[in-house]
A and B are shown apart, each in its own frame.
Chain A
Amino acid sequence: MILRYDVAVVGGGHAGVEAAAAAARLGCRTILVTPDLGRIGQMSCNPAIGGVAKGTVVREVDAMGGIMGRATDATGIQFRMLNRSKGPAVWGPRAQCDRARYPIAVRKFLDELDGLDLFQDLVTGIEFRGSRERIRSVRGLRTRSGVVVKCEALIVTAGTFLRGKIHLGQGTGHGAGRAGEEPSIELAEALGAVGLRMGRFKTGTPPRVDGRSVDFAKCERQDGDAGPLRFSCYYREPRLRQIPCWVTWSGPELNEIVTRNLERSALYGGEISGQGPRYCPSIEDKVNRFPTARRHQIFLEPEGLDTNELYVNGLSTSLPAEVQAEFLRSIPGLAKTRMTRPGYAIEYDYFPPDQLRHTLQVRSIGGLYFAGQINGTTGYEEAAGQGLIAGANAALAVTGRGPLVVERDQGYVGVLIDDLVTKGVDEPYRLFTSRAEFRLLLRQDNAGRRLGALAREAGLLTEEQSRALGRRLRQEKDGKRWFRGYSLDPARANAVLMEAGSAPIDRSARVGELVKRPRVTAEALAKAAGADAPTLESEVLATIEFDFKYAGYVRREEERAMHLREQAQFRLPDETPYGRFVTLSHEAREKLARIRPQSLAQAARIPGVSPADLQNLVLEVRKWEGRVTGRSMVNGS
């Protein structure tokens, strides 16, 4: 059987889902092929979405028309804003989701898209154009059951499945992409055969337990935020019943059990070679590397509304199941606990992402795109962001349109992808706010303003989303105009100021000035103005408040961003012959040739390329361009 599509997506995780949806929204005939259609949008690790920086990515994906935010809203069973006690630029929305309902919601939203087909099969091969020695571009894929899909662009989002291998204690290693699921061996081999560099990472999950066996009286209850909190700026999904998480702490006894069994761990027994994430260590790592820490915090996260199962966050491990059962029982509240699923470590192949362009296309092979864990990242959110960008760019390329690139000062998605393609990875990559040099600009509440128009111009938004975006941006604009122009008299203002513990005023003052004071909120001021204030949603009021409160800092950051943009004007063509630039250090030449930055600004971010190298690079490129074109065309003089 031969099927023909514009874009084919391999894999149905968070990256694959967004990739397929984005390609379909851009009008491409798209097919998503995955071994189990029942697990589309599966949450393989903890049942939660969002967090600091990550939650902002979800909002960005949503602002660009993606699925993750809406699906989280529809299946969230606890919503919290992390870092609320800190500044608004680092707030991070996070939600516990119902693990069973989430994939159903995702599947439903995918089904709303015209031009997107789903197909259940294991992809075992890729077909290319060009000769064996010089592969030019991708032509299609083959599945185990012999189906051939011809396509112009192929997006691989294989997650942890490429030569995936699971460990539950020393000597238990076996091939699997997730617990109970078959790994992708042939696909890994097919990709390895075309000359791409590969690496191996590992990650892990903790055990899960039966909630009926937990003594919650010995745990600390953690409820979600009281107020309304949602991810999507376009949709209002009805909210499910909300339930709490629980917190407990392991004690010295657990440390002792882990230490005693350390050699039975696959990690410490030397069976696992891949590099794991430092910020998400296994309990073996925690106990071994920080022996003085007597206790470790453990979150018991509900798996859903229809199940008693709890996810024991903080105890990722590769120890044998019996040891896991033993150390679980040492934890207050879990003394009689029954384990439902043991945790495990998983190793998998990834492809160092410095082989990609900013569009996430493999630089050496036309039409081939990678997104998600295959690029060495972790996290549902990071995967979704990449999936959307890969899917959009595949579709834009197929239809002969220009690329969609989010810049570092426009979104965490831009920071993520630029970091990947510029610096590569040496451990599984996760986003932090500190990776974003312009994080004051990248707030969770202004994703629509940052990326909505960009997505609309690229064609990623539906009519409905476009209208919602327009409404929101109009409200922000009108609101800001009102705050700049409207003055509040002392009688009405002082009640608000007093409430906030701020000094009273004796003559009328602009609300835009008053809102800059600590603890004075836009909402309170608007309320004090009564009928004089325009009707604004509370989310819009919050955005306006942040804009005014930190305007000085934001302006400073915007100026820095402008400066960087100027540097980005100096383009570096793909065919730049770095190897011939003898005035550059050897290391710089090697790195530039490998990474092939698009601009001087990107070259400056490559570790090992010094300021001196950059100066020489400018000179060399000008000289080379002069030779190639007869005169200096591209970058002036």
Chain B
Amino acid sequence: MTALPELHRQLDEMRPALLRFALLQLRNHTHAEDVVQETLLAVLEKPDNFSGKSSLRTYVIGILKFKIIDLLRLSGREIQLTDSEDSEQSEADLIDSLFRADGHTHQDANAWGSPHGTLEQKDFFRTLEICLEKLPAQTGRVFMMREWLELSTEEICKELDITTSNLWVLLYRARLRLRECLDLNWFGNLAK
């Protein structure tokens, strides 16, 4: 078990990252602050629960994810987000801009190389977070529910009261936007 003052210090260090993750999912500062606070309290109230089998960071992020899922279930529709019609239009425009009228791409996709080297770099994840922040609110939330909270498509549809085909469209748009953003801000820079 980590000594309490040391645990406090490590949690303090982790706090900004936890807040960023909560904000990426909840898109609301107050809710994000609340779940991070609850997470840190849960760890501090029962420090013996951390067995050391995983890293402290993995353990704390696991608790944060449960807290976020609890909040989403509790307040579900209350904190639902909607993207404006302008945003809807710009999403459709984005997809159209990538393809010619015959359905083929304007520009060939670049090879991003082996994931191994990329996923070892802290700066890559900072770039990914920035790209996630740029997603329209509803699109970003749905993508984070699927890929960060690792909820099933059925669970997400139930929580947000949307159809599966609507969900697939939102996830597709999110992935296209993230691909464009990473290609421009990470892989494009590496090629220079």
Q: Indicate, yes or no, whether A interacts with B.
A: no
